[in-house]
Amino acid sequence: MIRRYATALGVAAAVVTVDLLTKRYAATQFRGDPVEFLGGFLGFTYVENPGGAFGSFRGGGTVIAVAAIVVTGFVLFALSRPRPRGELLALGMVVGGAVGNLVDRFARGDGLIDGAVIDWINLWFIPTFNIADASVSVAVALLVLHAWWNR
């Protein structure tokens, strides 16, 4: 059981670290000075998002923060049972993404969990997002694929 938690929480810690470092970099480098690559296909900018991932649920940050806390608790409980390595990695990515954005919610608001999350990555067809958002999205896709392959 210790190995399961160590694996998932190690992945989570890596995601949180990369997420927070890149958000800090975005806040210093892209605020008011966006950068575009590949004819606007990829860009970097600084956006404060009071809602959910990819710009959804504007103004629903507190509800999303509570949901992230609940999901994190659920995932930590789920780790108490044996899981394949791929699931452990994906569950760690979910926890890392949730905690990365929760740090912003706690640290950047006037209330307890109402802060805006820093988003900074633009793809022409996806609203601005960050590493935490991407981590959760990739993890969910991996978990769905894993469930489909092992049905």
In 12-92 the beta strands, taken as DSSP E runs, fall at: 35-37, 42-49
Distance (Å, whole) CA 149 – CA 151: 6
Residue 119 bears catalytic tag: no
User: Which residues lie across from 124 on neighbouring strands?
Assistant: none
* Residue 105 and residue 114 in contact, taking contact as beta carbons nearer than 8 Å: yes
Tell me if residue 110 is catalytic. Answer: no
Hey, what's the torsion of the CAs at 16, 92, 137, 62, to 10 degrees?
A: -60
Q: Which two tokens stand for residue 65?
A: 């923060």
For residues 97 and 132, the answer to whether their CB atoms sit within 8 Å is: yes
Q: At what angle are helices 2-29 and 85-107 packed, to 10 degrees?
A: 40
- Residue 39 is which amino acid? G
Query: What residues act catalytically?
Result: 114, 133
